[in-house]
Structure 1
């Protein structure tokens, strides 16, 4: 097709180029299948060829698009010709199933030659786009008004896309902790009601680790809040580095962090939590007022559970383990717990929530 257009241009042949497209073709194919779509394309091609007078010719441009070249035709003549073609396309088409189906076609026209072959095809495509935008089943001529309408629609689409991107950025910003760059409490609250084995495929199984920086208040008192903020950032980086891509890391507040660990239960959850704990200790940040070690450390409570447990239940169990460790002077360790799913109400209307420590 392009070679034929180049030959016409080189020969000095003027005329009109039309780009035609079956309206809503994908939806028609989805409803009637590929055989039905093929029947529509064949009928459209035959009807177009029957109405285009020699020496006009028709080519399949791709998909459901056709290009027709009308040598020596003027735009008014070409428009009348294409409108007759569209009328023919509107007639019922018999599908392989034997049923009759109605389709329509849109067309864009451009004078030929009007620049390079690519520019001519682009102009016809713009006119076709305008025909679709104006309601389909019509012929539109490429001119300055068409160019302006299409440009305006594209500018509107670009503006909508930019607005969506800004809204997405605002959404992410509202769920990001400004100090550490981790997900914040709002983002955490949005996942806590998910249940293991529930509708969210990320949490077919999971563990929740509650991470508390040991004696952080003492560190701030001795070294200043500024250095305390630096410690929080370093620990946050360490949490991300020690986590896998599917893991979700949050700053719950203050010196408390939370890591949701999908596909980790039992021993695997403990191993993941120990990796986080050891990573922080390996940073070697001096801490002169800690009873746990001479460097900054964390105490980790980690909970995994049965199907039906919510992440909120796991977090409560994990934080309870970490807090108990403080009282028991068992900081800088991992404390694991398995959470049983809530049981059906018993005779007295109570449910049981059993936990087993490990």
Structure 2
């Protein structure tokens, strides 16, 4: 059996008295390194052996209360000490054939053969009292929530499930207590889990609503609301703004219908999203105006991205018979850099001004950037 192999591995040593290195990793599967207790694997095998042997008794799951807060307050070294001392105190006064295993984290499984339910509950209450005694490295009182159930030949999975449900019920009732598994505890724990699932679902729905409120319905890009939020929080250092305006878009809608205009906007947005870098953000500001925030982009990199954006839109080859600029749909791009002297919002306004000036001066389907630093 698994736990017999576990014991044999402990005894195997080489001639020098040092444990065989080939079994160090195997040993870790059977003995918890921190507490020295048997692991979950050994616990499940022992439960199977007890089931085959017809052993009767009780099993319990113990979970230390507020262990995360304890770790946060006193540090992981103190948390490890709590786990070691907990293991020692849970092993005190075990009945014949009884054992404790660490299941993972701050959870422990306790097997109490030959005891009645009343005796097992009394033993667990006494164990919890031992846990509350002072420990080194921390000043807080330690306690646990225990879920206990009768062992009458269940499979390990069913036994652990019943113990878990009772332990969750103990936590729901205020922690630091022993709860016996029955129909009432099943109902309490189930409702608690259902509530947690409901809360998680509501959180997901709320996030979906938040995302929807910040997404442009037509193009799928982030919308003006999301842009305003990004401008308010973006760091001015090493960020550039590209302002994109679709050339002669009013004429496009007039000649090709609004439906075709919507399709063109979606195609342009998709091309922009596919062209920008992973760290960049694309927004539909409104109408035929798009904005791209270029993060960690020096002037040269920002200019290169802007040129790729212009080329990607022209490569869509969307016919535009009403454009005096080109036979296909094109964009004009203004690029500006934020700095310590102006905000990202002001940088957007500067990029937009470059694009608008280009339109007035018949310089569409081009990228217009501010002079590079040091340019004469």
TM-score of the two chains, using structure 1 as the length reference: 0.87
Identify which range, 293-302 or 112-121, moves more after superposition: 112-121
Structure 1 partner of 2:144: 105
Alignment RMSD, CA only? 2.2
Q: Which moved more, 1:57-66 or 1:250-259?
A: 57-66
Partner of 1:233: 266
Residue 155 of structure 1 is matched in structure 2 by 194
Give the aligned partner of residue 33 of structure 2.
none
State the distance in 1 between where 2:225 and 2:319 align.
Answer: 32
* Contact 1:317 1:339 survives alignment (8 Å): no
CA distance in 1, matches of 2:140, 2:203: 38
Aligned to 1:125: 164
Contact 1:304 1:338 in 2 (8 A): no
The separation in 1 between residues aligned to 2:265 and 2:185, in whole angstroms, is: 58
Judging changes above 3 Å, is the alpha-carbon distance between structure 1 residues 275 and 53 closer, same or farther for their aligned structure 2 residues? same
Q: In the superposition, relative to structure 1, how do residues 181 and 154 fare at CA in structure 2: closer, same or farther (>3 Å)?
A: same
Residue 78 of structure 1 corresponds to 120
The size of the alignment, in residue pairs, is 334
1:173 aligns with 2:228: no
How far does residue 286 in structure 1 lie from its aligned partner after superposition? 1.2
Q: Tell me the equivalent position of 1:329.
A: 362
Change (3 A) 1:141 1:184: same
- Tell me the residue number matched to 2:102: 60
User: Which is richer in helix?
Assistant: 2
Cα shift at 1:39: 3.5
- Hey, what does 1:242 align to over in structure 2? 275
5+ unaligned residues in a row in structure 1: which ranges?
198-203, 341-355
What residue is the counterpart of 1:44 in the other structure?
A: 86
Shift of residue 190, structure 1, vs aligned partner: 1.1
Does 300-309 or 9-18 show the bigger shift? Answer: 300-309
Q: Does the CA-based 8 Å contact 2:58-2:116 persist in structure 1?
A: yes
Change (3 A) 1:100 1:261: closer
User: Aligned to 2:325, what secondary structure does the other structure show?
Assistant: coil
Superposed displacement of residue 35, structure 1 = 4.3
Secondary structure of 1:136's match?
coil
Quote how far apart the aligned CAs of 1:60 are. 3.0
Alpha carbons of structure 1 residues 278 and 107: separation in structure 2 relative to 1, 3 Å: same
Closer, same or farther: CA 300–45 of 1 in aligned 2, 3 Å:
closer
Instruction: Give the CA deviation at 1:332.
Output: 0.7
1:190 pairs, out of 212, 229, 233, with: 229
Partner residue, 1:140: 179
- 1:189 & 1:100 partners in 2: Cα distance? 48
Is 1:284 the equivalent of 2:313?
Answer: no
